[in-house]
Amino acid sequence: MFEALSPAVVEIVDVARAEARLARQHTVGSEHLLLALFALRGGAAAALERLDVSAEAVRGAVRRGGWTGAPAPWLSVEAAEALGRALVLAAANGRPSADSTDLLLALGAAGESARILRETGVEQPALVEAVRDLPGVEVAPSRPRSTAQAPEGEGAEYPLVDGFSPAGALAIDAARVEAEICMHAAVHAEHLVFGVRCAAPELVAAVAGPLPEVSPGTGVLDGLDVPTRPAGLDPDEPPPLTERAADALEAAFSEAAGAGASAVSPEHLLLALLAVAPDACARVLFDAEGVGRRVREHLP
Q: Would residue 34 count as lying in a domain?
A: yes
Percent of the chain at pLDDT > 70 equals: 80
What's phi and psi for 164, nearest 5 deg?
A: -100, 145
pLDDT, residue 137, reads: 67
User: Which residue range(s) make up the domain with 206?
Assistant: 164-298
pLDDT of residue 139: 64
The answer as to whether 109 is a domain residue is: yes
In percent, the amount of the chain with pLDDT more than 90 equals 34
The answer to whether residue 91 scores a pLDDT higher than 60 is yes
Position 83 in a domain:
yes
Range in 139-153, 170-184, 210-224, 275-289 the model is least confident about: 139-153
Based on the fold, state whether residues 233 and 277 are members of the same structural domain: yes
What pLDDT was estimated at residue 278?
Answer: 87
- Predicted local distance difference test score (pLDDT) of residue 52: 94
198-222 confidence digits (pLDDT tens): 899 888 888 777 767 767 777 677 7
Number of domains composing the chain: 2
What number of other Cβ atoms are within 10 A of residue 297's Cβ?
A: 9
Does any domain span residue 149?
Answer: no
Clarify whether residues 284 and 174 are in a common domain: yes
In a domain, 153, yes or no: no
Question: What pLDDT, on a 0 to 100 scale, did the predictor assign at position 23?
Answer: 85
Model pLDDT, residue 42: 82
Is 290 a member of any domain?
yes
For residue 140, what pLDDT is reported? 55
Do 105 and 171 reside in the same domain of the chain?
A: no
User: pLDDT-derived band of residue 291, with 50, 70 and 90 as boundaries?
Assistant: low
Residue 239 within any structural domain of the chain = yes
One domain, residues 277 and 181: yes
pLDDT score, position 71: 63
Q: What is the CATH number of the domain that holds 125?
A: 1.10.1780.10
pLDDT band with cut points at 50, 70 and 90 for residue 292:
low
User: Quick one: 177 and 79 in the same domain?
Assistant: no
203 located within any domain: yes
